[in-house]
Amino acid sequence: MTPKLEDVAKLAAVSKTTVSRVLNNRGYLSQKTIDKVHAAMAQLDYHPNVVARQLYKNQTNLIGILLPSVANPFFGELTDTLERLLYQAGYKVLIGNSMNDPQKEAAYLNQLLSRQVDGLIVGTHNQHIQAYQNPGLPVVAIDRVMNEDIPVIASDNYQGGQLATTHLIDRGAKKIIHTNGPEDLKTPAQRRRSAYETTMVAHGLTPITYTVDFNIAPSAKKAVFRQIFQEHPDVEAVFAANDVDAALIQQVAGEFGRQVPQDLMIVGYDGTNLMREVLPNLTTIVQPIEAMSKMALQVLTQRINKEPTEKEYILPVKLWPGQTG
């Protein structure tokens, strides 16, 4: 027969209210009383009704992580790190690939609004979804601007753009091309473009940026990268939007007889553990994924507890020297 709360109370010689207070960590209780209740629970092999406790607290202890695609190395490592930290903090995790689908993203938001999850960590592109306009929503965005209220966790994209561009200039490159996402996409990553362009102009050089949609297939990206070499055969260096694009650019460069880094330098962005293992020679800007994840958890906890948060949290990046740039 399954033991009940009153059985624990009887064995521990305390009231049911006291057992409930021990389970929910509410009010002052002596350590002796707490120990007696836990001893009784262990003796009876009693397991509290988690669902009932969640209803009592109006919490599910479930956090949603909503990102464009965990197949992308950056978002894959970010998801892995967030899941580990959330689990350590006592949360269960619901992971969703939005695949840039507004309807799918809206469904996850509805789960939040109907209290099926306690909060969301998002890194998606669909900032125009109406549900995001609810003030005080327990949502934290990573490297995306959703609205004026939702806090953003981001690496220092401007610093990253400066580091990459200055590094290539210091290495002697003058014809440097940058690849970035669509300008109408509200994301801190646009600051990489701004830093690149400002740094180029400051050195008397002409900035050239190619727009590459994040969501298109690698074959379509390669077509854009071929245009770079066709339209600018004298290109000396490329500052790529991310490490995957940097790897594709290196492949395309080979089609045009360009050797890296002898006659073409490449700098990527993200610096995930996977990419540094697979392409250890790739020069890249490393985003602090562990620190960003810890900050996201801290800020989300503040949102859940209805505590004040900042609009933006910026974390420093660093250059991984590699050998391609």
pLDDT tens column, 254-266: 999 999 999 999 9
> pLDDT at position 184, please?
74
323, part of any domain: no
pLDDT band at 51 (very low <50, low <70, confident <90, very high): very low
Between 243-255 and 218-231, two packed helices, what is the crossing angle to 10 degrees?
A: 60
23, part of any domain: yes
Q: Quick one: 50 and 133 in the same domain?
A: no
Q: Quick one: 169 and 76 in the same domain?
A: no
Q: Is the pLDDT of residue 174 over 50?
A: yes
- pLDDT, tens digit, for every residue of 79-118? 999 999 999 988 888 887 766 666 776 776 666 666 577 8
Q: Quick one: 73 and 149 in the same domain?
A: yes
Mean pLDDT of 283-300: 96
**Domain containing residue 10:** 5-57
Mean pLDDT of 220-248: 96
Q: Quick one: 187 and 284 in the same domain?
A: yes
Q: Quick one: 236 and 268 in the same domain?
A: yes
Beta-carbon count within 10 A of 279 CB: 18
Among the candidates 38, 57, 76, a domain finishes at 57
DSSP bridge pairs for 178: 209, 239
pLDDT above 90 coverage of the chain, percent: 52
Task: Indicate the helix (H) or strand (E) that contains 318.
Answer: strand 318-320
322, part of any domain: no
Number of domains in the chain: 3
The answer to whether the CB of 71 falls within 8 A of the CB of 100 is: no
Beta strand 318-320 pairing with 283-286: antiparallel
Q: Which residues contact 291 (CB under 8 A, 6 or more apart)?
A: 315
What token pair was written down for 182? 């669509």
- pLDDT, tens digit, for every residue of 178-209? 999 887 777 888 999 999 999 999 999 999 99
Stated pTM of the model: 0.78
d(CA 285, CA 166): 12
205, part of any domain: yes
Mean pLDDT of 22-31: 76
324, part of any domain: no
Q: Which residues contact 277 (CB under 8 A, 6 or more apart)?
A: none
Q: Quick one: 281 and 165 in the same domain?
A: yes
184: domain CATH number is 3.40.50.2300
237 φ/ψ angles, rounded to the nearest 5 degrees:
-160, 155
> pLDDT at position 250, please?
96
CA angle 294, 196, 235 (to 5 degrees): 125
Q: Quick one: 101 and 119 in the same domain?
A: yes
The answer to whether the CB of 105 falls within 8 A of the CB of 98 is: yes
> pLDDT at position 92, please?
87
Between 157-170 and 190-202, two packed helices, what is the crossing angle to 10 degrees?
A: 40
Q: Which residues contact 72 (CB under 8 A, 6 or more apart)?
A: 242, 244
Q: Quick one: 13 and 85 in the same domain?
A: no
Q: Which residues contact 288 (CB under 8 A, 6 or more apart)?
A: 155, 315, 316, 317
pLDDT band at 152 (very low <50, low <70, confident <90, very high): very high
